Structure 1
């Protein structure tokens, strides 16, 4: 969070100074298409236990696994420096115990997430490297999930992770390669978003917990602007 605050402060200082001469090949109305390798790194924990029919240990904690996936980003430039970006891709995670229960016990399996995200970005004219900062809204949609292997012997028949709105902060930089629109792109997002996890035994809600997810999403790849 401190890193983003520092970047935001730098953005305000740079935005207040005259922009360098604009590259004639980069204009309002341009579209930039990116193909990226992305690491999704959750940084969450249980924040509340709403229902507990099984008697969880008081110090129970969990963590979602990291995942590495291909993603696509599409960016539209409203002006030379201001753009709107959205990403496309899905990521799959398990949720395991880290405290209270046996460490590594799988509680949720194959949770498939679609992290719908739209951000607004401000790009700085600093020569060959073009840094940016941004922020926007996100909606995490859980497309599927299954009871973890450790819960099935306890009678759990179904799990559910709630879809939720949140927001994201973003920073990164693009590196144009020549004047044909091709380039490299490096991006970091920090999401601030929660979910409610529920475990069912038949029709009975056995456990309900609130989770902070707050993943880092780190991407690098190639870009084409036209």
Structure 2
């Protein structure tokens, strides 16, 4: 997925580099829509099971990537500065435990991200690169425990049931992107974010709770179209 997005970004720049259109201006509203991929790059701390002696799973958990539809709004405060809100349809991630070689469960999340953007070309016509920094709030929901994990906890701890809960997360975000004009209103868009997402996972069983920290810290890749009002 990342390779395809990189090719799409390069193609957009090559196709739009020679095009000109009116510059971004204070008061403009830009709506961007496309496909967005969340690719976790972080890791998890070791999982300690309350056995006698304790059982340590040093590999923690792995979280896979997912691709959804994006909707991104930007308000140009000045010709050079904008405020952006990133939103998307809910992402769903499978969670695996590498030491046991099993599926551990899954979760859905929404990661709205508010960023302050700087457009260095400002009131110039043509392509518009930008960078931004902001804050992310990630809301986790619909957490599920895979039967394989329930069975493993049953054999190790004697648990007969398990539930997964993930704490919501606040973190910083950074981004780079570019708008490639097709005419005065329509544009191609590509953007990349790095988002600090960290959570505490609680696996609650009928014999106790196992808690551990998970750093998701994804790279987020978006390609799509944009319309400027």
Report the TM-score, using the length of structure 2 for normalisation: 0.80
Residues 74-129 of structure 1 deviation map (CA, whole Å, 9 limit, x = unaligned): 1100001100000222211011123x222xx11122x0101021001001217532
What residue ranges of structure 1 are gaps of 5+ in the alignment?
1-22
In the alignment of these two chains, the number of paired residues is: 198
Q: Aligned residue for 2:149?
A: 151
Equivalent position to 1:116, from 112, 115, 119? 112
Whether the 8 Å contact between 1:57 and 1:101 is mirrored in structure 2 is no
> Deviation at 1:25?
5.4
Residues 178-219 of structure 1 deviation map (CA, whole Å, 9 limit, x = unaligned): 12x1101000000112100111113731x1111111001100
Give yes or no for the alignment of 1:204 onto 2:225: no
Give yes or no for the alignment of 1:74 onto 2:79: no
Whether the 8 Å contact between 2:30 and 2:228 is mirrored in structure 1 is yes
Distance 1:53 1:203, change over 3 A: closer
Whether the 8 Å contact between 1:117 and 1:138 is mirrored in structure 2 is yes
Distance 1:217 1:56, change over 3 A: farther
Equivalent position to 2:198, from 194, 198, 217? 194
What residue ranges of structure 2 are gaps of 5+ in the alignment?
1-20, 155-159
Equivalent position to 1:225, from 213, 221, 228? 228
> Deviation at 1:163?
0.5
> Deviation at 1:24?
5.3
Whether the 8 Å contact between 1:65 and 1:95 is mirrored in structure 2 is yes
Residues 14-33 of structure 1 correspond to what in structure 2 (within 5 A)?
Answer: 26-33=24-31
- Structure 2 CA distance, aligned partners of 1:144 and 1:164? 16
Identify which range, 52-61 or 160-169, moves more after superposition: 52-61
- Structure 2 CA distance, aligned partners of 1:24 and 1:34? 17
Whether the 8 Å contact between 2:46 and 2:59 is mirrored in structure 1 is no
Whether the 8 Å contact between 2:46 and 2:57 is mirrored in structure 1 is no
Q: Aligned residue for 2:38?
A: 40
> Deviation at 1:35?
0.8
